[in-house]
Structure 1
Amino acid sequence: MTDFSWLTASHFVMLGLLLVFAIAHSGLAALRPKGEALIGPRAYRVLFALVSLPLASVLIIYFINHRYDGLRLWNLQGTVGIQTTVWLLSAISFLFLYPATFNLLEVAAIAKPQVHLYETGIIRITRHPQMVGQVIWCVAHALWLGTSFMVVTCAGLILHHLFAVWHGDRRWRDRYGEAFEALRQRTSVIPFKAIVQGKQSLKLQEFIRPAYLGVSAFVLLFWWAHPLLIRATRATGW
């Protein structure tokens, strides 16, 4: 008889938390046109943050506290170069997860939040940088942890972001019509595909901007604070 004692309840809790976050995050994104018409763009961005950030915080805390749960499928910790590889991949993932196409003033609702059709910077590499960043983050952490809990977490996160690719394209198409279709033809979801096809070319000057410097500074800060974050999450008892 196969022993499934390693399949702890935390695996299913994590999937449930990911599902709740996905419904809330993608649901609020879908309702954005109606919500902004009802309460205004700034108020809706604040509402979006008030829902998304606490759910994301719960996910992060629960993930950190249970990351070694379940079956250890592989253990590469201690392998020469693996720690450097994991940190390098993690840093790259943040450049995709938090691309400088975002106007930080709009994110903070200081400026009026708007939906933009970008075709510069990291969008030349992939039309959905957050999905690519999430996959890279998952690869990095799966390499380091190697647990069944991590595999389940990666599966949930990647499935959500693959859905977000379809969902985001649909919302852009509804809003911009032919303008988005033209952009879709000139860009790609798969990284560097549009560049290889000759539809795009990298312009390094588009990456020389304060927002990218801010993301780089955040990566360094996160690297420094990582042990503190792990110790802090243990205190929650989740």
Structure 2
Amino acid sequence: MPELALALIAFVGSHELLSHVLRKPLVAKLGEAGFAALYSVVAAATLFWAVNAWQRAEPAQLWTAPLWMWSVGSIVMLIAAILFVGSMTSPNPALPGRGAAANAAPRGVLRITRHPMMWAFGLWAAVHATLSGDKATILFCFGIGFLALFGASMQDRKKRGQLGAAWAAHEASTSYLPFGAQFGGRASWSSINPGLVATLGGIVLWLAATWAHPMMGAPVVGIWSMIG
């Protein structure tokens, strides 16, 4: 557990340092391509360390989730899968090199949240921590979830500096929290349609992941439990 905690601190901390504090000086020295390569190596190395430490951690079961929670978790993961696919298929100004999309009206999953990829990871972390009940898995998921959701808020601050009025307008027409614009009255509930590509792609991803889960020891849930 102590090693897992250290690995997660390294994983989360290196992401935040490289994304914000150290990005500008490193880009000046290494160039965009060099910085991207360094970022990828550090991210992969620290993630590998965290996964390896998690696999070697002593099991410590804090609770056992009832089967009905696995079905609820499966539904939440479908939402996460749609957000994830939609984050890559919609004009998403939060992604590197797509800042110009902030000038356009939000489309698809961006009308649900302006950080669909980060919330996909956040929902993944919440579901897996809740259903697992294992101490090491909870800690691992907390690290992933914290990086995603805290990183999203930090990304807002960085984008304000980079894109100025364009990002401010994008923030005004979207929300950090899922469905925040709808609850706040800034968008209609009819606008939450994620789009055909995100929906179908998310369903395919969800079906594939649900099918693969029993191979890793997880209960058979969702549509596969009905088929089986």
Matches of 1:65 and 1:95, distance apart in 2: 32
How does the TM-score come out when normalised to structure 2?
0.71
Q: What do residues 159-203 of structure 1 show as CA deviations (whole Å, max 9, x unaligned)?
A: 333431331011101101122222222221121010223323426
- Residue aligned with 1:100, SS: helix
Matched with 1:85 is 72
Partner AA of 1:208 in structure 2: L
Partner AA of 2:18 in structure 1: L
Are the equivalent residues in 2 in contact too, given 1:15–1:152 (CA < 8 A)?
yes
Partner AA of 2:72 in structure 1: T
Partner AA of 2:97 in structure 1: Q
Segment of structure 1 superposing worse, 171-180 or 190-199: 190-199
Q: Which of the numbers 33, 36, 39 marks the counterpart of 1:48?
A: 39
Segment of structure 1 superposing worse, 175-184 or 24-33: 24-33
RMSD in angstroms over aligned alpha carbons?
A: 3.2
**1:18 shift after superposition:** 1.3
**1:124 shift after superposition:** 1.3
1:73 aligned to 2:62?
yes
Are the equivalent residues in 2 in contact too, given 1:125–1:191 (CA < 8 A)?
yes
1:126 aligned to 2:113?
yes
How does the TM-score come out when normalised to structure 1?
0.69
CA 1:80 to 1:214, structure 2 compared with 1: closer, same or farther past 3 Å?
closer
Partner AA of 1:47 in structure 2: L
Partner AA of 1:114 in structure 2: G
Are the equivalent residues in 2 in contact too, given 1:126–1:191 (CA < 8 A)?
yes
Q: Give the number of aligned pairs.
A: 205
**Structure with the higher helix share, 1 or 2:** 2
Q: Which of the numbers 97, 105, 125 marks the counterpart of 1:114?
A: 97
Q: Which of the numbers 12, 23, 27 marks the counterpart of 1:22?
A: 12
Partner AA of 1:16 in structure 2: L
For residues 191-202 of structure 1, the aligned pairs below 5 Å read 191-201=178-188, 202=191
- Point out where structure 1 has 5 or more consecutive residues left out of the alignment: 1-9, 105-112, 231-238
- Residue aligned with 1:18, SS: helix
**1:114 shift after superposition:** 0.9
Q: What do residues 78-107 of structure 1 show as CA deviations (whole Å, max 9, x unaligned)?
A: x343332233323332333x3433369xxx
Are the equivalent residues in 2 in contact too, given 1:99–1:122 (CA < 8 A)?
no
Q: Which of the numbers 91, 102, 112 marks the counterpart of 2:88?
A: 102
Matched with 2:221 is none
